[in-house]
Amino acid sequence: MRILKDILYKVAIEALNGSTDNAVNHLHFDSRKIEANDVFVAIRGAVSDGHNFIDKAIALGATTIVCDVFPSELQKNVTYVLVKDTNAALAFMAANFYDNPSQKLKLVGITGTNGKTTIASLLYQLFKKAGFKVGLISTVKILVNDEEFKATHTTPDSLTINHYLAAMNEAGVDYCFMEVSSHGIHQKRTEGLHFVGGVFTNLSHDHLDYHPTFAEYRDVKKSFFDFLPKTAFALSNGDDKNGAVMLQNTAATKRTYALKSYADYKAIILENQLSGLLLKINDNEVWVKLIGTFNAYNLLAIYGTAIELGLESLEVLRLLSELESVSGRFQFIVSAQNITAIVDYAHTPDALDNVLNTINDVRTQNEQLITVVGCGGNRDKAKRPIMGGIASDKSDKAILTSDNPRDEEPETIIEEMEAGVAPQNFKKILVITDRKQAIKAACQLAQPNDIILIAGKGHETYQEIKGVRQDFDDMKIVKETLEQLGK
């Protein structure tokens, strides 16, 4: 049990009705989970408003209500806490409820459009190899040292974050690497957390269904660095035009990494092959198993982070050479017919462009590059024609298909992608709405030595159609299809 006044520490309270000496069993923002002596925090979400469920929460046993507007009738024996922002209040209360677990380990946040999952996951991998107990909070999964939990959001809600950080404290975790999304920052899910470092990857077109302008999207990302403490480090991509913006107002120690410009952590690509990269990082050469310029940036960010956290440079280079690719991030197989199939999460124009450029840089041009790509429903529509244009321009054949259509008609999404295809590229595209059939068609079209890219879903093992998630795994389908064709 906690006492209410203790978990309200640092919460900006505008008005109070009732006692703060209440014993608190738990915190919830979902009224369905409320039990006796719980606190209910009313959150205004995109789908529903928690303020509409205050009476239900009280009926189930809530003795404290945190809200931004008092109900018209206040019930006896219930404490009402009025705050300006219930998201921020929940974040601080969650940290206090779990005894501020982020202060008992070294927490590093990674933000940007692309590369967050790869950097966070490979930092987890590297520090595990270095002998530390490590935690991971990512799009793909949550790891408490060796114990794995399913992830539902890139940045979970603040209660979930603190719950797992507390579990990491119990497991003796030394470091935790966490993806920090723009949604998570904007919805104050990271408030009340103590970060020892922040990493900025890059910024490109994404989430403009949520953020009204690109400027707001950029500024939300920047605000993460604005609130880093002076004891932390802020590591930013010096080659990204928004890299310097991220560091403008931070109190943290400023560090940069780059391939093209002067930086604290500098790399040169000496070799770029399908089997890996030869990099020169700060005058030392290292061979790594990941490929492509985008992965050179990711590895440089990992190197810089590890150095800032106190690891020795030559040891970090040795560990970099041992890192394996992350699930659904440029994950590839080579079939018996010598057809290379690559599965990648690329679901933004910039990410798709990077992956296709990487493939085109290492291929001989004597083979076909066949790309299977779709766009998600109920998400940023502006990127659809851009991605259709990139796929058709940089591939020998592009199959436009469904991704997670959600509540939209997949045919409509595909038509919007087709709108971006240049006239000279019409002959290069096929439209196959069923994603499984699209992947099978790509395999049937491929000849020995050809390359197939299946973009957009990566690590996801489902497809969401009309609110229903069905089992769907790009890698499993392409592997099975190529094996069947080989027989």
Mean pLDDT by 10 residues, the chain (487 residues): 94 96 95 97 90 97 97 94 97 98 98 93 98 94 94 84 98 97 90 97 67 78 96 98 96 98 97 91 96 93 98 98 88 92 91 92 91 93 95 98 94 97 97 97 96 93 91 95 91
Buried b or exposed e, range 231-245, using 16+ CB within 10 angstroms: ebbbbbbbbbebbeb
154: its two tokens: 């890139």
Would you report the helix, strand and coil content of the chain in percent, each value rounded to 5? 35, 25, 40
What per-residue confidence (pLDDT) applies to 254? Answer: 98
40: its two tokens: 């209910």
Q: Distance (Å, rounded) from C-alpha 56 to C-alpha 49?
A: 13
- Among 228, 165, 225, smallest CA distance to 201 is for 225
Residue 335, classed as helix, strand or coil, is coil
> What is the maximum alpha-carbon separation in the chain?
78
What per-residue confidence (pLDDT) applies to 215? Answer: 82
Q: Residue 452 in contact with residue 341, Cβ under 8 Å?
A: yes
Cα–chain center distance at 134: 18
What per-residue confidence (pLDDT) applies to 273? Answer: 86
Q: Distance (Å, rounded) from C-alpha 134 to C-alpha 88?
A: 27
User: What kind and span of H or E run contains 178?
Assistant: strand 175-179
DSSP 8-state secondary structure symbol assigned to residue 316: H
Q: Distance (Å, rounded) from C-alpha 441 to C-alpha 457?
A: 18
Q: How far apart are the first and last CA of the chain?
A: 63
What per-residue confidence (pLDDT) applies to 205? Answer: 57
Q: Residue 89 in contact with residue 41, Cβ under 8 Å?
A: yes
What per-residue confidence (pLDDT) applies to 379? Answer: 85
Q: Distance (Å, rounded) from C-alpha 347 to C-alpha 384?
A: 10
The residues, any chain, with a CB within 8 Å of residue 282's CB and separated by 6 or more, are 265, 266, 267, 313
pTM: 0.84
Q: Residue 57 in contact with residue 65, Cβ under 8 Å?
A: yes
What per-residue confidence (pLDDT) applies to 207? Answer: 46
Output the CA–CA distances (angstroms, integers) from residue 214 to 109, 269, 374, in the order listed: 21, 31, 22
